[in-house]
């Protein structure tokens, strides 16, 4: 259960009229998980907002979401509101939140308009679908699945994310601001991407629309090209 202060904060934000109600006026149903995660959905709405800071998290693999909550709680990811919200939450509670959002599958968002030119979009498509062997950059689909919908239990999908969010996260990995469990495979990939590459990848991904029935794959059929500390069973490594 949420710490008392956070529970009251969530209720005050979501149910302002009830925050001052007598205890016997608040039914037990208001302590359901759906009510307690309103503090999450106030930012991470299921409908797509294309907000650089608040990506859609519904439908992501539960293991991935759980790892990110741990990363925020333990300081590997830095966003003050998130760090504050989860700093006192237990592993079990974080896992419950992750499983709740993983089970949600809202309609896919529309394509995002892009001002990128044809050359940039072609470069983005190349990196996502084929990678760049010369720069030792694996294709995004090699880890994130052929449909780019992610792979259970711990690899997220990439489609439907705001373009600015993808830019920001790749930049954070390049600059060492965002970290994951070691070895941090995404940090390795980001270091090999130029700023132009980052823009090309995010631009092309933004133009793609996931199918309505897209779901994270249950397993990946080939060995991952990188050893990722947050992905159970990954062991292969691309040479530095």
The verdict on 56 and 151 lying in the same domain is yes
What is the per-residue pLDDT across 53-90, written as a single tens digit (0 to 9) for each? 788 899 999 999 999 999 999 999 989 999 999 999 99
pTM of the full predicted structure? 0.78
CATH of the domain at 130: 1.10.760.10
The verdict on 14 and 121 lying in the same domain is no
The verdict on 55 and 128 lying in the same domain is yes
Q: Which domain holds residue 14?
A: 1-42
Structural domain count of the chain: 2
What is the per-residue pLDDT across 141-170, written as a single tens digit (0 to 9) for each? 999 999 999 999 999 999 989 899 999 999
Kindly tell me the sign of the dihedral angle through the C-alpha atoms of 190, 144, 51, 121.
Answer: positive
The verdict on 29 and 53 lying in the same domain is no
The verdict on 27 and 127 lying in the same domain is no
The verdict on 235 and 172 lying in the same domain is yes
What is the per-residue pLDDT across 164-196, written as a single tens digit (0 to 9) for each? 999 999 999 999 999 888 999 999 999 999 999
The verdict on 10 and 77 lying in the same domain is no
The verdict on 53 and 36 lying in the same domain is no
The verdict on 183 and 222 lying in the same domain is yes
């Amino acid at each position: 259960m949420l710490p008392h202060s956070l529970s009251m904060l969530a209720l005050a934000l979501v149910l302002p009229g009830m925050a001052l109600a007598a205890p016997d006026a608040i039914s037990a149903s208001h302590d359901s998980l759906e009510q307690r995660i309103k503090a999450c959905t106030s930012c991470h709405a299921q409908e797509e907002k294309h907000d650089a800071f608040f990506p859609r998290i519904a439908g992501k693999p539960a293991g991935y979401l759980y790892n990110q909550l741990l990363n925020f709680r333990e300081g590997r990811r830095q966003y003050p509101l998130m760090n504050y919200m989860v700093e006192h939450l237990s592993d079990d509670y974080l896992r419950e939140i992750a499983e709740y959002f993983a089970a949600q599958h809202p309609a896919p968002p529309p394509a995002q308009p892009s001002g990128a030119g044809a050359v940039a979009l072609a470069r983005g498509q190349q990196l996502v679908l084929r990678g760049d062997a010369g720069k030792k950059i694996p294709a995004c689909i090699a880890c994130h699945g052929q449909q780019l919908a992610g792979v259970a239990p711990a690899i997220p999908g990439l489609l439907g994310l705001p373009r600015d969010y993808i830019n920001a996260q790749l930049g954070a990995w390049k600059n060492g601001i965002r970290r994951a469990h070691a070895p941090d495979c995404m940090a390795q990939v980001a270091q090999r991407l130029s700023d132009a590459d980052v823009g090309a990848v995010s631009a092309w991904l933004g133009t793609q629309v996931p199918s309505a029935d897209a779901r994270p794959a249950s397993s990946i059929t080939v060995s991952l090209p990188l050893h990722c500390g947050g992905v159970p069973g990954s062991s292969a490594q691309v040479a530095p």
